[in-house]
Amino acid sequence: MVDGVRLVDMPGVPDTHKPWALIVAEALDMLRAQPEGVEWTFLSPPPVIQPGERTGSYRLGGDSPAGDAISVEDYAVALIDEAERPAHRRRRFTVAN
């Protein structure tokens, strides 16, 4: 979210991206509605995720994007880091380079 507006609802989001983005947003809403005993974590990529160089570093964010882009390689590192050292239980987090 940026200033309370979901990225999918912002101007400039291609119509081809909206259907899957809305499905993912619905899945996040379903997770947030789960009772307290249900463990979940939701990792959202930034608007641009593409193959590139693995830098081994990334920025973290919450519901707002941590930045505009990340390499697939660094996104994978962030995912593994969360799996090995959970820091976002029952929360969504974002990553970017």
Percentage above 70 pLDDT, the chain = 98
Residue 47 belongs to some domain of the structure: yes
When pLDDT is averaged across residues 83-92 and rounded to a whole number, the result is 97
Count: domains in the chain: 1
> Residue 1's pLDDT band (boundaries 50, 70, 90)?
low
How does the average pLDDT of the chain come out, rounded?
91
Q: Is position 2 within any domain?
A: no
- Amino acid in the structure at residue 43: L
CB-based contact 57:23 (threshold 8 Å): no
In tens, the pLDDT along 53-72 reads 999 899 999 988 889 899 99
Cβ atoms of residues 67 and 96 within 8 Å: yes
Instruction: Note the pLDDT of residue 14.
Output: 83
Cβ pair 37, 43 in contact under 8 A:
no
- What pTM value is reported for the model? 0.83
**What CATH number corresponds to the domain at position 53?**
3.40.50.720
